[in-house]
Amino acid sequence: MRHGGNNAALILSASTLASQGELRIGHAIAKFLALVSGRRKVSKFLNQMGLGKFNNKFKPSRTEFDWLSRDKDEVDRYVADPLCGGLYSNQLWHDLTGGILEITLETAIRSVRADLPILIMGGECDPVGGQRGMTRLADTYRDTGHDNLTLTIYPQGRHEMLNETNRDEVTMDVIDWINLQLGNRG
């Protein structure tokens, strides 16, 4: 949005149009907790508020991260990776909610070149937004003059479509879309 003048296309995967009200509340709480408890402290409350409900529609669940993918091996790799998972600090929540607030403003969306090809893709069952959130995001881009937009929603897909059980289909769809937009320039 700030430096998109040279971009040839935009792919938004697992994206949504988040509720401004909820984001503002989360942002204010994160700011308060960062000031009171410390920026690096972890608030179980913030983590529960931000990520705690993501696994709810996948009960009974094997892990806390079943919401990421239907592929059990991919979920297990995520769980086993020491750099994945974990609880977020107060400052990370403050920065994350602030960034999402910024990019979901209509003025920010209007700042994206209107002629830029956009692909919004993701899983129907992604708890971050799913079909409803991606459709709202696509509608907002269209309402702001972005007509070269493709919305692809994968049935039963979860959050990480490139790590899903149908990853080969998703990968080929993305490659085909890029080739179409760039005219097979390689």
pLDDT digits (tens, 9 = 90+) for 122-169: 999 999 999 999 999 999 999 999 999 999 999 999 999 999 999 999
Domain range annotation of the chain: 1-17+113-186, 18-103
Dmax (CA) for the chain in angstroms is: 54
- Torsion sign (Cα): 70, 71, 72, 74: negative
The percent of residues in the chain predicted with pLDDT above 90, rounded, is 83
| Model confidence at 86: pLDDT above 90 | no
What architecture does CATH give domain 1-17+113-186?
A: 3-Layer(aba) Sandwich (3.40)
From residue 69, alpha-carbon distances to 54, 58, 121, 130, 169 in Å are 12, 10, 15, 13, 15
Grouping H, G, I as helix, E, B as strand and the rest as coil, residue 122 is strand
Give the pLDDT score at 80: 96
H/E element holding 78?
helix 72-80
Contact 43, 33 (CB under 8 A): yes
pLDDT digits (tens, 9 = 90+) for 169-184: 999 999 999 999 988 4
Give the pLDDT score at 186: 47
* pLDDT band, very low/low/confident/very high, at 7 (cuts 50, 70, 90): confident
Strands 118-123 and 10-13: parallel
143: amino acid identity, one letter: D
Mean of pLDDT values over 68-81? 97
